[in-house]
Amino acid sequence: MPIGDINAYENAMRQFDQAAEILGLTDDQITMVKEPRKITEVILPVRMDDGSVRPFTAYRVIHSRMRGPGKGGVRFHQDVNLDEVKALAFWMTIKSAVVNIPMGGAKGGVIVDPRELSDRELENLSRRYMAEFMDDMGPESDVPAPDVGTNPQVMAWFFDTYAMHKRVWSPAVVTGKPVELGGSLGRPAATALGVLYTVREAMRVQNIDRAGATVAIQGFGNVGSHSARLMHEDGMKIVAIGDASGTYVNPDGIDVPAALNYAEHNRSSLFGFEGIVKVERIERAEDILEMDVDVLVPAALENQITSQNADKVRAKIIAEAANGPTTPNADEFLAANGTFVVPDILCNAGGVTVSYLEWVQNRMGYYWEEERILSELENIMVKAFQEVNDTAQEYDTSMRTAAFLVGISRVNRVATHRGLYA
């Protein structure tokens, strides 16, 4: 169980309370917006390759359908727990509202290390997940997507299981699918593109020159690796990358194409990378958070920057590509220190934004060119950044609190229009 300042759900609720107080929400308004609406926990029996049946604990939390159907990824990870899924579902509600897409918030998770499963076992687990949660899923009720440990193939199995049970062709039930199955062009790099767009805006308002700006990236999965590629292509200097295997540093700039190629052929891990190109390996994976860089991109899991290490963070901008990487205690410290934090619910919203565009295309049955998707994404992200930045100026708060102010007031306004049924 999480200790100290690292219970993600308590942290999320602290963020909510702070913003609700500034907005002056009443107790009734808080009741309508704050807590999750539906929490489901099931045991999935899964047939393993040796013929045995193994039980996996699985969750789906629908936090809010106030502004649209439940929306959010499904995480396969050994450390998944209910408080984490509740926090992630809450953040999805606010994230959708911050970028103003007509979606609510939800999240799912399974306690499993997917790297320990064969492809067949992973397929059995994925299909069983959809079969168990299907009654609540659908294009107009709850729409899952990829998250840590899941990918387009898992989404394809979700789609097929739903289609077989319901006897319908309904690609909008899940986003992040392979393109051949109605997935959107641009979806795999969408979260990282959103990170790039918001980092560019942050540099603009902070008067930091983009050319040669130094960057450290924690995590080299989907979001971290695409962020490294896009920021490198944009002329920034990636001086450190890292994952659970360690931190890899080169003050002259890491050969990013070589790192991408290496990870692709090494089961997405950077382990052993120092033997391939000129980088120094630092044993402690956490050291990447303390690098003296212009931009730090935490692109791994929650609770990385905490009250234990916030005083050692030296980056000018923190771009939260992961969900919940900074605890509220650390946040207070960073704000007092003048660090410019682009909060997760804004910074990484590019993923759910293109998921929304995928859902729109699925419902039309008409598919756009990549160019159109990327320009819609850029418009949405830049507009959201500006709205949050304006709100931060108006209320004299951090970007995080401002993002909560924008998101919560949007949900609250819809709640007011809708009223309480019966």
Residues that are catalytic: 107
| Cα–Cα distance list, 397 to 207, 256, 353, 391 (Å) | 19, 36, 25, 8
Closer to ligand GLU by Cβ: residue 325 or 351: 351
Task: Report the residue from 6, 145, 319, 384 that binds ligand GLU according to the rule CB under 6 A.
Answer: 145
Task: Report the residue from 71, 86, 177, 316 that binds ligand GLU according to the rule CB under 6 A.
Answer: 71
The CA distance from 358 to 171, in Å, is 9
| 355 near ligand GLU (CB under 6 A) | yes
Closer to ligand GLU by Cβ: residue 291 or 373: 373
Residue of minimal Cβ distance to ligand GLU? 73
Task: Report the residue from 172, 352, 381, 392 that binds ligand GLU according to the rule CB under 6 A.
Answer: 352
Task: Report the residue from 7, 15, 227, 323 that binds ligand GLU according to the rule CB under 6 A.
Answer: 323
CB of 377 to ligand GLU, least distance (A): 12
| 73 near ligand GLU (CB under 6 A) | yes
- Which residues from 147-186 bind ligand GLU, rule CB under 6 A? 147, 175-176
CB of 175 to ligand GLU, least distance (A): 5
The CA distance from 28 to 207, in Å, is 42
Closer to ligand GLU by Cβ: residue 145 or 296: 145
Given the rule CB under 6 A, which of 9-17, 124-132, 245-253, 347-355 is the region that contacts ligand GLU?
A: 347-355
The number of residues that bind ligand GLU (CB under 6 A) is 12
Angle at 16 between CA 14 and CA 19, to 5 degrees: 110
The CA distance from 347 to 224, in Å, is 13
| 110 near ligand GLU (CB under 6 A) | no
| 72 near ligand GLU (CB under 6 A) | yes
Q: Which residues contact 270 (CB under 8 A, 6 or more apart)?
A: 220, 241, 242, 243, 245, 246, 248, 259, 262, 263
CB of 107 to ligand GLU, least distance (A): 8
Closer to ligand GLU by Cβ: residue 246 or 407: 407
Give which of 149, 147, 145 is closest to 177, Cα–Cα.
145
Binding mask 272-311 for ligand GLU (x = CB under 6 A): ----------------------------------------
Q: Which residue ranges make up the site for ligand GLU (CB under 6 A)?
A: 71-73, 145, 147, 175-176, 323, 348, 351-352, 355
